[in-house]
Amino acid sequence: MRGQENSMGRSASILPLGSLVAALVIGPLVWAAIRPAPASRGPRGRFAASALLRIADSRDDRRENPAATSGDPDGQDRVEREAWFEERHRVGPGVSWRQIERTNRRREVGKRNKLSQMRPSGGPDSEAQASSSWREIGSRNQAGRMHAARHSSDGQRLYAGSSAGGVWRSTDLDGTDWEPLGDNLAGGAHELEILPGAFAGAPDVIVRGTSDLWVSRDEGLTWELPTGLPSNLNSVRRLRQSSDGSNTLYVVLSERIGIANHYGVYRSTDLALSFTKIRGLGLDPGDLWTRRDGSPDVYVLEGNAVSTSIDRGDSWSVAGSLPAAVKGGELTGSEAGAPRLWVVGRAGGARKLYRSDDAGGSWTFKRDVSDYWDSMNASIVDADRFAWGGVEVHRTTDGGDTFQIVNGWGEYYGNPAGKLHADVPGIDVLPDGGGGELWYVATDGGLFRSTDGLLTVENLSLQGLRVSQYYSTHTSSANTDHVVAGAQDQGYQRADVPAPGLDHLLDFDQMISGDYGHLTSGNGSHTYLYSVYPGFVLIQIGEDFPQLAFADFPSGESYGWMPTVTADPLHLPSFFFCATKLYRYSRVGMTFGWSSTIWSGQSFQASSGEYLTAVAFSPLDPQRAFAATSHGRLFHSLDQGVSWTQSTTTGPSAHYFYGTALLPSATDVDTVTVGGSGYSNPAVYRSTDGGVTFAPWSEGLPSTLVYCLGESPDGSGAVFAGTELSAYRRDPQGGTWLDVAADEAPLTTYWSVEAVADQNVMRFGTYGRGIWDFVVGPTCRYEVYGVGVGGANVLTLDSTSSTKIGTSHVLSLSGGQPLAAGALLVSLNSASLPAFGGTLLVDISRAFSIPVTASIWGARDTSVPIPMNPNLVGISLYGQGALLDPNQSRGWAFSNGLRGELCE
């Protein structure tokens, strides 16, 4: 690359690259016809609990309605799941994957902001949307975890914050016509506040908090970080605004100092443009509460002391103290008292409920608290009404003397419209505008509302709140109307027909509760479809009228919280189970029982804690098998996995590689790709010699976790990857991975991917925004890539032209210096290489250059005629602009990349 940089030199032209034209790989067929010339710029769904077909061992209660695994009262399953999640993000010593992903998230949001300026989004019927490569599939009627609810500034609409699916808004307070406002911001909204716009008619200001505090002033199109917050911010604990009309906003956050979290209160008085620290809270997790009745009073919990301010935080006075054993906790209150305050205090390993009837001056212990998820709230109008949330919601109407649960978690499955789902991360109580109040309960199965103080509830999530958290999907090759999905806390779901009149959105039936993943079939149909719940293997038998059966995990074994199963491609009633050894299960005759045997005697546990995480068979030769472990070791087999040989090369630092996905090629029996944790090493490796050796294949990917890999159904050999924040594509001869989500699909975790051949799509299951299809075929339009790479890449290259042959394509370059000279580089391949302080996004070894000179506005349109030749269809062109720029450290400015696949 150094020689290539030097060849460009510091001259006023990039035309030395023109020497590559002599060896132009794009071919005379294209080049002879291209004559560039400058142009002037100018609810239907059902819950099938009552119809569950449980065949095996109906006496086993855990299989009748498996509990939501993240919400058991003692928290053990939740702890195990979090440990598994952490293990998958395997890193080297001193490396924080969360900090890396925060950096990735901020970069992606910056990229989305820029894309929104380049290509303002249209409505659902716009031309841009009609030609999009993406389409949302659903679920339309099954929601995932929610956290918060707020009314619009005029009190007429409802905003909701999800766990991993962004911010949503309905057209009223009834959950009608939900629309996503957070697809350009990764993650959810664990804390949420809504402020009025800066002027009459301006959109509400949306403030959302999780690990960062983000603000949108244009209904979620773009997001910004306010100033004044600490650079080492760790998490947002609480977000509250004053109800006195001043629009004062308070945030309780933690910042990392050394090895400890320090808590503090910050305040904004300018609609979240900036914040100022007004109070430290020490090392204990404190809290803050604001009144909802128009008062400016603010209350904080610091350690075991409660303080109050009557001047919006300018000064504070200590109201009183709880017992000395209390070290922080959660604080809320009821305006109907003096006010009456409630604290769930942290005292050692216990949680204790206290009540104050004199605004914090004195405190009474009420009870020890269990089944508690740090969520609680109190009535505005009834001092005796208070509730906390855990697996279930615990409610008192007598000031905490007695408590009742609103409903048992299992009752939801018989009445999802009127019973709370399990697991409650948030409870909000908001004024109803008429002197009363509305209670909102955020659960792992959507958002609920109560108009009578939690005596009854109604589900606001049964239509259109599309925040499902999916681990896996599987579409039947025998009937693509049959789609099955394994969800977090929303069970094993099945759709068998599209929802009428709703385009591509599907309604799903929840066949059985719990968490399910690793859906797998031996021949692509649903004759036998296998999946895992953390505790047993679930087996669906039958395509049109499915029955469910179960099999136990092997005893005395080690495996992940949600272990991997892989269907046997040579015998449909059999599957393989990944542990320290490889097990094979087979159906016992025509019974509904499965027996297991050790298929391979080889132990895959070379060190403590290691186990198999992935096994896959070549679609071209099922005798060829490949395996990956939790410690990054890779293996290959020539006898369907009976005997194994360890790969001799896995690239640098493979010890910190946790293999999550294996993809044997459908076009070359010797090619296999593996993806996994890429924070201390590459996230993807590839072998072209049958798994004997692997080499890094991660160019273009950020340091991230690759959750899944899939191959295009069109026979091209293109590979798709789902990561922590986006979806990527790499062509067989492509030099780099390209972000295909752009600004058309949500910024979220892409946990699974499958090829649906009949529809020529790659189907992604996301963890927070449901199921999305990427259409593999050409959309006949240009797509940007490489936005936000930083450095000298400050120009913008875009095109509104179709990529059809027989037309002229106009490529628009902007953002340069007036009258700057440069070139438009066009190649057959992409790249990601450092050059002149920026990033070269096209492969110049297969490129030609078109000289351009910017206008006095620093822009230039270039028209490229493409001949009417069918042989060109399917060829992808990659473009990038470069202009001289004395303001750049190396004298050159570069643009983003632009990709277009020629079509008819």
Q: Residues 640, 643, 644, CA angle at the centre, nearest 5°?
A: 100
- Taking CA atoms, 405 is separated from 85, 169, 323, in Å, by 31, 29, 28
Helices H, strands E: what count in the chain?
Answer: 6, 66
Q: What is residue 503's predicted lDDT score, i.e. its pLDDT?
A: 64
Helices of type H across 280-418: none
The first and second tokens of residue 379, run together, are 């009535």
720 vs 675: CA distance, rounded Å: 11
Strand order in the sheet with 594-600: 565-567, 574-578, 582-587, 594-600
Question: 541 CB contacts (<8 Å, ≥6 apart)?
Answer: 55, 527, 528, 547, 548, 549, 592
319 vs 310: CA distance, rounded Å: 12
pLDDT mean over 818-833: 93
- Give yes or no for a contact between 590 and 640, defined as CB atoms under 8 angstroms apart: no
Q: What is residue 164's predicted lDDT score, i.e. its pLDDT?
A: 94
Q: What is residue 666's predicted lDDT score, i.e. its pLDDT?
A: 96
182 vs 108: CA distance, rounded Å: 13
Name the least confident of 655-659, 806-810, 861-865.
655-659
Q: What is residue 119's predicted lDDT score, i.e. its pLDDT?
A: 59
pLDDT confidence tier of residue 140, bands split at 50, 70 and 90: very high
pLDDT confidence tier of residue 733, bands split at 50, 70 and 90: confident
- Does 637 have pLDDT greater than 80? yes
Q: What is residue 221's predicted lDDT score, i.e. its pLDDT?
A: 94
Q: Count CA within 13 A, CB hemisphere, residue 793.
A: 22
Which residue from 161, 804, 53, 44 is spatially nearest to 495, judged by alpha carbons?
A: 44
Helix (H) or strand (E) holding 127: helix 127-130
pLDDT confidence tier of residue 259, bands split at 50, 70 and 90: confident
pLDDT mean over 745-752: 96
Question: 600 CB contacts (<8 Å, ≥6 apart)?
Answer: 581, 582, 641, 642, 643, 644
- Taking CA atoms, 643 is separated from 371, 548, 606, 692, 863, in Å, by 47, 32, 16, 14, 59
- Bridge partners (DSSP) of residue 318 are 307
Q: Residues 632, 634, 640, CA angle at the centre, nearest 5°?
A: 140
128 vs 839: CA distance, rounded Å: 28
DSSP state of 765: E
List, as one string, the DSSP characters of 44-87.
---BGGGG--B-S-TT-HHHHS---GGG-TT-HHHHHHHHHHHH
Longest pairwise C-alpha distance within the chain: 87
745-771 burial, b for 16+ CB within 10 Å, e for fewer?
bbbbbbbbbbbbbebebbbbbbbbbbb
Q: Give SS3 for 456.
A: coil
List, as one string, the DSSP characters of 559-620.
--SS--EEE-TT-TTEEEEESSSEEEEEE-TTSS-EEEEEEE-----SSTT--EEEEEE-SS
Give the tens place of pLDDT for each residue, 659-693: 889 999 999 999 999 999 999 999 999 999 999 99
The first and second tokens of residue 614, run together, are 């992935």
Count CB atoms within 10 A of the CB of residue 233. Answer: 19
Give the tens place of pLDDT for each residue, 193-250: 999 999 999 999 999 999 999 999 999 999 999 999 999 999 999 999 999 999 999 9
Helix (H) or strand (E) holding 130: helix 127-130
pLDDT mean over 858-865: 92
- Does 128 have pLDDT greater than 90? no
pLDDT mean over 634-640: 97
Q: What is residue 69's predicted lDDT score, i.e. its pLDDT?
A: 47
Name the least confident of 17-26, 680-689, 867-876.
17-26
590 vs 596: CA distance, rounded Å: 16
Give the tens place of pLDDT for each residue, 386-420: 999 999 999 999 999 999 999 999 999 999 999 99
Q: Model-level pTM? A: 0.88
- Does 894 have pLDDT greater than 50? yes
Pairing of strands 134-138, 179-180: unpaired
- Does 599 have pLDDT greater than 90? yes
- Does 117 have pLDDT greater than 90? no
Give the tens place of pLDDT for each residue, 317-363: 999 999 999 999 999 999 999 999 999 999 988 999 999 999 999 99
286 vs 288: CA distance, rounded Å: 7
Give the tens place of pLDDT for each residue, 529-562: 999 999 999 999 999 999 999 999 999 999 999 9
The first and second tokens of residue 654, run together, are 């493979």
- Does 651 have pLDDT greater than 60? no
- Does 26 have pLDDT greater than 70? no
pLDDT confidence tier of residue 781, bands split at 50, 70 and 90: confident
- Does 41 have pLDDT greater than 70? no
- Does 56 have pLDDT greater than 60? no
pLDDT mean over 741-767: 95
332 vs 292: CA distance, rounded Å: 11
pLDDT mean over 875-900: 95
Which residue from 597, 688, 672 is spatially nearest to 628, judged by alpha carbons?
A: 672
Conformation bin of residue 518: beta by default, left when phi > 0, alpha when psi is -120 to 50: left
Pairing of strands 783-785, 771-775: unpaired
- Does 48 have pLDDT greater than 50? no
Q: What is residue 498's predicted lDDT score, i.e. its pLDDT?
A: 67
pLDDT confidence tier of residue 379, bands split at 50, 70 and 90: very high
Query: Which class for 794: exposed (0-12), middle (13-18), buried (19 or more C-beta within 10 A)?
Result: middle
pLDDT confidence tier of residue 9, bands split at 50, 70 and 90: very low
Q: What is residue 16's predicted lDDT score, i.e. its pLDDT?
A: 36
896 vs 796: CA distance, rounded Å: 6
pLDDT confidence tier of residue 24, bands split at 50, 70 and 90: very low
Q: What is residue 64's predicted lDDT score, i.e. its pLDDT?
A: 53
Q: What is residue 431's predicted lDDT score, i.e. its pLDDT?
A: 97
- Taking CA atoms, 814 is separated from 204, 261, 682, 786, 889, in Å, by 32, 45, 34, 16, 19
Give percent above pLDDT 90 in the chain.
Answer: 79
Mean pLDDT of all residues belonging to the chain: 89
pLDDT confidence tier of residue 502, bands split at 50, 70 and 90: low
Q: What is residue 127's predicted lDDT score, i.e. its pLDDT?
A: 41
Q: What is residue 648's predicted lDDT score, i.e. its pLDDT?
A: 86
pLDDT confidence tier of residue 72, bands split at 50, 70 and 90: low
